[in-house]
Amino acid sequence: PNLGVVRVDAERSFVIADVPGLIEGAAEGAGLGHQFLRHLSRTSLLLHLVDIAPFDEATDPVAEAKAIVNELKKYDEELYNKPRWLVLNKTDMVEDSKDVIKKFVQDYGCKGPVFAISAISGVGCKELTYAMMDHLDEVKKTALELETKEIDPPEQAKNEPIITEEHQDFN
Protein backbone atom coordinates (compact mmCIF):
# COMPACT_ATOMS: atom_id res chain seq x y z
CA PRO A 1 0.00 0.00 0.00
CA ASN A 2 0.98 3.59 -0.56
CA LEU A 3 0.58 5.90 2.42
CA GLY A 4 -0.06 9.60 2.14
CA VAL A 5 -1.12 12.52 4.27
CA VAL A 6 -4.29 14.39 3.37
CA ARG A 7 -4.15 17.94 4.69
CA VAL A 8 -7.67 19.30 5.10
CA ASP A 9 -6.56 22.64 6.52
CA ALA A 10 -3.70 24.06 8.58
CA GLU A 11 -4.75 22.19 11.73
CA ARG A 12 -6.33 18.99 10.42
CA SER A 13 -4.91 16.09 8.46
CA PHE A 14 -5.06 12.33 8.31
CA VAL A 15 -3.12 9.43 6.86
CA ILE A 16 -4.63 7.52 3.99
CA ALA A 17 -3.56 4.14 2.62
CA ASP A 18 -4.06 3.37 -1.04
CA VAL A 19 -4.38 -0.39 -1.48
CA PRO A 20 -4.24 -0.97 -5.23
CA GLY A 21 -4.88 -4.18 -7.05
CA LEU A 22 -6.99 -6.10 -4.56
CA ILE A 23 -8.29 -8.97 -6.67
CA GLU A 24 -10.74 -11.80 -6.45
CA GLY A 25 -9.11 -14.59 -4.45
CA ALA A 26 -7.20 -12.16 -2.23
CA ALA A 27 -8.66 -13.72 0.93
CA GLU A 28 -7.05 -17.01 -0.11
CA GLY A 29 -3.73 -15.27 -0.78
CA ALA A 30 -4.05 -14.49 -4.51
CA GLY A 31 -1.82 -11.67 -5.60
CA LEU A 32 -0.69 -9.69 -2.59
CA GLY A 33 -4.06 -10.29 -0.94
CA HIS A 34 -3.10 -11.15 2.62
CA GLN A 35 -0.50 -8.39 2.80
CA PHE A 36 -2.97 -5.80 1.54
CA LEU A 37 -5.88 -7.04 3.60
CA ARG A 38 -3.77 -7.00 6.76
CA HIS A 39 -3.11 -3.27 6.18
CA LEU A 40 -6.83 -2.62 5.84
CA SER A 41 -7.44 -4.11 9.28
CA ARG A 42 -5.66 -1.13 10.87
CA THR A 43 -7.93 1.48 9.31
CA SER A 44 -11.05 3.04 10.78
CA LEU A 45 -12.75 3.77 7.46
CA LEU A 46 -12.68 1.99 4.12
CA LEU A 47 -13.26 3.79 0.85
CA HIS A 48 -14.30 1.47 -1.93
CA LEU A 49 -13.16 3.34 -5.02
CA VAL A 50 -14.78 2.13 -8.23
CA ASP A 51 -14.24 3.47 -11.74
CA ILE A 52 -17.67 3.70 -13.34
CA ALA A 53 -16.10 4.29 -16.75
CA PRO A 54 -14.03 1.11 -17.17
CA PHE A 55 -11.34 0.81 -19.83
CA ASP A 56 -12.94 -2.36 -21.18
CA GLU A 57 -16.63 -2.28 -22.11
CA ALA A 58 -16.88 -5.98 -21.19
CA THR A 59 -15.99 -5.15 -17.58
CA ASP A 60 -18.88 -5.02 -15.13
CA PRO A 61 -17.92 -2.52 -12.41
CA VAL A 62 -20.75 -3.69 -10.13
CA ALA A 63 -19.65 -7.33 -10.29
CA GLU A 64 -16.03 -6.35 -9.67
CA ALA A 65 -17.01 -4.15 -6.70
CA LYS A 66 -19.08 -6.96 -5.20
CA ALA A 67 -16.17 -9.38 -5.64
CA ILE A 68 -13.92 -7.12 -3.58
CA VAL A 69 -16.52 -6.86 -0.82
CA ASN A 70 -16.78 -10.65 -0.80
CA GLU A 71 -12.99 -10.85 -0.37
CA LEU A 72 -13.24 -8.58 2.66
CA LYS A 73 -15.91 -10.81 4.16
CA LYS A 74 -13.99 -14.03 3.47
CA TYR A 75 -10.80 -12.62 4.96
CA ASP A 76 -12.23 -11.15 8.16
CA GLU A 77 -15.79 -10.47 9.28
CA GLU A 78 -14.60 -7.55 11.42
CA LEU A 79 -12.93 -5.96 8.39
CA TYR A 80 -16.08 -6.51 6.36
CA ASN A 81 -18.14 -4.73 9.04
CA LYS A 82 -15.95 -1.62 9.20
CA PRO A 83 -17.51 1.61 7.97
CA ARG A 84 -17.20 1.48 4.18
CA TRP A 85 -18.04 4.28 1.81
CA LEU A 86 -18.57 3.89 -1.90
CA VAL A 87 -16.60 6.34 -4.04
CA LEU A 88 -17.52 6.34 -7.72
CA ASN A 89 -14.71 7.78 -9.84
CA LYS A 90 -14.51 8.96 -13.44
CA THR A 91 -17.96 10.48 -13.35
CA ASP A 92 -16.74 12.99 -15.94
CA MET A 93 -16.18 10.18 -18.46
CA VAL A 94 -19.73 8.83 -18.70
CA GLU A 95 -22.76 10.34 -20.34
CA ASP A 96 -25.75 10.82 -18.05
CA SER A 97 -23.56 10.32 -14.99
CA LYS A 98 -26.47 10.83 -12.58
CA ASP A 99 -28.35 7.93 -14.17
CA VAL A 100 -25.23 5.74 -14.26
CA ILE A 101 -24.52 6.49 -10.59
CA LYS A 102 -28.10 5.79 -9.57
CA LYS A 103 -28.12 2.46 -11.44
CA PHE A 104 -24.74 1.46 -10.00
CA VAL A 105 -25.83 2.19 -6.42
CA GLN A 106 -29.07 0.29 -6.96
CA ASP A 107 -27.39 -2.75 -8.57
CA TYR A 108 -24.59 -2.76 -6.00
CA GLY A 109 -27.01 -2.49 -3.09
CA CYS A 110 -25.06 0.21 -1.29
CA LYS A 111 -26.40 1.14 2.12
CA GLY A 112 -23.67 3.58 3.20
CA PRO A 113 -22.52 6.97 1.98
CA VAL A 114 -21.86 7.35 -1.75
CA PHE A 115 -19.56 9.95 -3.26
CA ALA A 116 -19.30 10.69 -6.96
CA ILE A 117 -15.97 12.17 -7.95
CA SER A 118 -13.61 12.82 -10.79
CA ALA A 119 -10.10 12.36 -9.45
CA ILE A 120 -8.55 13.98 -12.51
CA SER A 121 -10.65 17.16 -12.44
CA GLY A 122 -11.15 17.22 -8.65
CA VAL A 123 -14.95 17.35 -8.82
CA GLY A 124 -16.37 15.99 -5.56
CA CYS A 125 -12.95 15.39 -3.99
CA LYS A 126 -13.12 18.30 -1.55
CA GLU A 127 -16.51 17.16 -0.24
CA LEU A 128 -15.20 13.61 0.17
CA THR A 129 -12.08 14.82 1.99
CA TYR A 130 -14.07 16.94 4.46
CA ALA A 131 -16.54 14.11 5.08
CA MET A 132 -13.64 11.75 5.78
CA MET A 133 -12.06 14.23 8.20
CA ASP A 134 -15.39 14.74 9.99
CA HIS A 135 -15.83 10.97 10.28
CA LEU A 136 -12.30 10.47 11.64
CA ASP A 137 -12.75 13.33 14.12
CA GLU A 138 -15.93 11.66 15.36
CA VAL A 139 -14.14 8.30 15.70
CA LYS A 140 -11.37 9.96 17.74
CA LYS A 141 -13.89 11.80 19.91
CA THR A 142 -15.80 8.59 20.65
CA ALA A 143 -12.59 6.71 21.46
CA LEU A 144 -11.45 9.50 23.79
CA GLU A 145 -14.80 9.53 25.57
CA LEU A 146 -14.57 5.78 26.12
CA GLU A 147 -11.02 6.10 27.47
CA THR A 148 -11.82 8.91 29.88
CA LYS A 149 -15.13 7.57 31.11
CA GLU A 150 -14.84 7.08 34.84
CA ILE A 151 -15.72 3.71 36.22
CA ASP A 152 -16.71 3.67 39.88
CA PRO A 153 -14.51 1.39 42.00
CA PRO A 154 -16.26 -1.45 43.83
CA GLU A 155 -18.09 -0.37 47.02
CA GLN A 156 -15.61 -2.06 49.35
CA ALA A 157 -12.66 -0.28 47.81
CA LYS A 158 -14.21 3.21 47.98
CA ASN A 159 -13.46 3.74 51.67
CA GLU A 160 -10.17 1.87 51.89
CA PRO A 161 -7.03 4.00 51.93
CA ILE A 162 -4.58 3.51 49.14
CA ILE A 163 -1.15 2.77 50.54
CA THR A 164 1.89 2.85 48.34
CA GLU A 165 5.49 2.03 49.30
CA GLU A 166 6.30 5.72 49.65
CA HIS A 167 3.63 6.18 52.31
CA GLN A 168 4.11 3.05 54.38
CA ASP A 169 5.81 3.25 57.76
CA PHE A 170 8.29 0.41 57.87
CA ASN A 171 9.43 1.00 61.50
Confidence of residue 171 (pLDDT cuts 50, 70, 90): very low
Neighbours of 23 (CB within 10 A): 14
List of residues 6+ apart from 84 with CB closer than 8 A: 45, 46, 47, 48, 69, 72, 112
| Least confident interval from 97-101, 115-119, 124-128, 141-145 | 141-145
Q: What is the pTM of this model?
A: 0.77
Please provide the average confidence, as pLDDT, over all residues in the chain: 81
Instruction: Provide the pLDDT for residue 170.
Output: 44
| DSSP secondary structure, 22-35, as one string | --TTGGGT-TTHHH
